[in-house]
Amino acid sequence: MKIALCQIEISESLEKNLESIASALDSVSADFYVFPELALTGYRENLFEIVNSQDYSSGIEILKDYSKKKTFLLGAPYLRDGRLFNSVFLFSEGDCRVVAEKSALFPTLDDVAGFSPGRERDPFVVGSYSFYAFVCFELRSPELIRSFALQGADVLVLIAQWPEARKDHWETLLSARAIENQTVVLGVNAVGKAFGNPLCGLSRAISCDGSLIGGLDKDPGIITLEIPSFETSLPYPRRVVFQGIPKLLPLNKLLPILERRRMHGERIVFTNGCFDILHAGHVDYLEKARALGDLLVVGLNSDLSVRKIKGNDRPINPQEHRAKVLTSLSCVDYVVMFDEETPEDLIKKIKPDVLVKGADWEEDKIVGASFVKSYGGEVVQIPFLYDTSTTKIIMKFKGS
């Protein structure tokens, strides 16, 4: 399979970017073409206005027309439900679809451009190969990329606007992601500038063993290369180790861990509840809470706390059982118990960046909301999609 890595210079002119993309598609013959992050627009402060413009819509239609004969991948902003996402589009057979949305946003760049963290991530097949796409700063998230490999990706595709100042990281991390996942990695970068920051180019393809299949320098250019066969046996088996990291921690052990993670710029999300009989509504809620930051801390009402709130016939499941189930969820990073009726003291000690409760709570009734907002934190209310609750489950059993 012949793939073209198209390292173009991205400008603030939609027309010029379209010309660069069209020129690359016309200049070489390949089975699949890959362009950089935000190849259509570049980073701009008025992206909402641009995406809503007729020029942008016309540009997408022009690219769809090209895709009647060419299959290609490129980055462009996408507006969904009133929010803007730094997205990856697959153009093929006269149409296009979003196959990835950037989830790990780069501070002072993606936020300035108005992007929200995305969750869309769909594998796609070109020829006989399965691909997963990810975007720029996500190269620094090995757990995310490993999940793509474990879902059967033959090729991992990174599109980026990676800065000249960290070009050594670009080369090192691309090789690391290929070696640790034993998967071909394509890294397609832009040249030019992103909000005034020079970009390094250096687009490349890395083999499963970390060797360079082919690459470009810092100037605009295109390289075509063949993806190596996957029929040969790998030098060693890929191991997926179950770590079993302790998640249920007392507060005095949890706080130093949170402080160290905060020093690395991680956003701490906090929520709380009894989680007496864990159900689908709980899991959906916790998954959405985890997506709001880099780690999720769940404050779990102890048996004593539950009895204070709900009476002596609750909880149904003792605290040890409830904690065991919660800590088994991949979306939960830490669980800490509290005996009080409310988690107010816990919130004041943890100082989360994001405080989460259900949408059935009014903000002025959410314990800790005013405190979290006092230092610039966020309060997020998540709607429940499942019409179920622990109380309803108990009543159903009593009725039967």
Cα separation, 346 vs 319, whole angstroms: 17
Are 220 and 296 members of one domain? no
Are 213 and 269 members of one domain? no
Please tell me the pTM assigned to this model.
0.84
Q: Is residue 134 part of a domain?
A: yes
Q: Looking at 156, 191, 226, which one is the last position of a domain?
A: 226
Q: Is residue 241 part of a domain?
A: no
Are 271 and 348 members of one domain? yes
Helix, strand, coil proportions of the chain in percent (round to 5)?
35, 25, 40
Answer for the pair 382, 288: CB distance below 8 angstroms, yes or no.
Answer: yes
Cα separation, 247 vs 323, whole angstroms: 9
Cα separation, 28 vs 93, whole angstroms: 19
- What residue numbers bound the domain in which 78 lies? 2-226
Are 64 and 115 members of one domain? yes
Q: Is residue 11 part of a domain?
A: yes
Q: Is residue 222 part of a domain?
A: yes
Q: Is residue 243 part of a domain?
A: no
Are 302 and 217 members of one domain? no
Q: What is the pLDDT along the chain (400 residues), one digit of tens a residue?
A: 999 999 999 998 999 999 999 999 999 999 999 999 999 999 988 999 999 999 999 999 999 999 999 999 999 999 999 999 999 999 999 999 999 999 999 988 999 999 999 989 999 999 999 999 999 999 999 999 999 999 989 999 999 999 999 999 999 999 999 999 999 999 999 999 999 999 999 999 999 889 999 999 999 999 999 987 665 556 667 777 777 789 999 999 999 999 999 999 999 999 999 999 899 999 999 999 999 999 999 999 999 999 999 999 899 999 999 999 999 999 999 999 999 999 999 999 999 999 999 998 899 899 999 999 999 999 999 998 877 777 777 777 777 6
**According to the model, what pLDDT value does residue 386 have?**
75
**Are β-strands 197-198 and 204-206 bridged in parallel, bridged antiparallel, or unpaired?**
unpaired
Residue 117 sits in a domain whose CATH number is 3.60.110.10
Q: Looking at 226, 242, 277, which one is the last position of a domain?
A: 226
Are 168 and 258 members of one domain? no
Q: What is the DSSP string of 309-345?
A: HH-TT--SS-HHHHHHHHHTSTT--EEEEE-SSSSHH
Are 140 and 261 members of one domain? no
Answer for the pair 344, 367: CB distance below 8 angstroms, yes or no.
Answer: yes
Q: Is residue 48 part of a domain?
A: yes
If one counts the domains in the chain, the total is: 2
Q: In terms of Cα–Cα distance, which of 146, 199, 270 is closest to 7?
A: 199
Q: Is residue 186 part of a domain?
A: yes
Q: Give catalytic residues, as residue numbers.
A: 308, 310
Q: Looking at 226, 243, 262, which one is the last position of a domain?
A: 226
Are 307 and 193 members of one domain? no
Are 168 and 268 members of one domain? no
Q: In terms of Cα–Cα distance, which of 271, 278, 286, 273 is closest to 317?
A: 278
**According to the model, what pLDDT value does residue 244 have?**
78
Are 184 and 279 members of one domain? no
Are 214 and 157 members of one domain? yes
b/e map of 314-326 (b: 16 or more CB within 10 Å)?
A: bbebebeebbeeb
**According to the model, what pLDDT value does residue 239 have?**
77
Residue 371 sits in a domain whose CATH number is 3.40.50.620
Are 76 and 221 members of one domain? yes
Q: Is residue 301 part of a domain?
A: yes
* Element spanning 134, H or E: strand 129-135
